[in-house]
Amino acid sequence: MTQSKTNNTLTINNKGWSVQVSLTGLSFLGPGQTQDALYLNEEFPVATTAEGLTQYLDQFWGRQRETLNIDAHQTIRLAHQSSWYTVVPKDLFDPARGLDYLKFNTRLLDNDLVAYDVLEGLDLVVVYLPFTNVNNWFFERFGSFTFEHTASVLLRHLMVQNSLKKSVQSVIKALKTSCIMCFLLLSNSTLTQNKCRFI
């Protein structure tokens, strides 16, 4: 059994869908049929595996397909939330060495697919292992979509917020269900970042 939450009081201007997937749950935010926005969130009773995510997606889609009512003309932005990422300065980044950036903090397989998000204006690259099976699941059902890591989304947001503070050093913590992400920012620069899993 999974825990489902629905909140129909949000207002958004975008007519596309934002979807977040992790080993502990998933969420959909997009235009509602009778209200401004629809938000559906499901937390798994226990963390699943990358392979188990598609089973949860199938079950969730089977229950919520009518409610979500995603059509082919709507954009989908998929955010992968996992601890399988690192942040690399753009000047030091080489796309051919993707696995090398991850080998010290992630257990890797030879056939792992590496993805990366270039954060323009921040001179950073988020290198990560996407849930390839989840990408395939979305592609089979909806065709074209974009995806990125939640660290990219969070860093962009933090830098916009931090740019309002001139020359101030900030420590920002993002607490998730099973990990904490910390960023040390100075003006428009990320000085360091780290993530820690906890139980």
The DSSP annotation for 34-92 comes to SSS-EEEEEE-SS---HHHHHHHHHHHHHHHHHHH---TTS-EEEEE--S-EEEEEGGG
Tell me the per-residue pLDDT of 164-189, one tens digit each, with 9 for 90 and over. Answer: 454 445 555 455 555 566 666 555 55
187 within some domain: no
169 within some domain: no
CA dihedral 186, 78, 32, 157 (to 10 degrees): 0
40 within some domain: yes
The amino acid that residue 148 corresponds to is E
Tell me the per-residue pLDDT of 27-36, one tens digit each, with 9 for 90 and over. Answer: 999 887 666 7
pTM over 0.85: no
3-state secondary structure of 154: helix
Q: How confident is the model at residue 129 (pLDDT cuts 50, 70, 90)?
A: very high
CATH of the domain at 144: 3.30.420.250
31 within some domain: yes
Q: How many domains does the chain have?
A: 1
188 within some domain: no
The amino acid that residue 50 corresponds to is A
- Give the range with max mean pLDDT: 118-122, 148-152, 161-165: 148-152
144 within some domain: yes
63 within some domain: yes
Domain of 38? 1-162
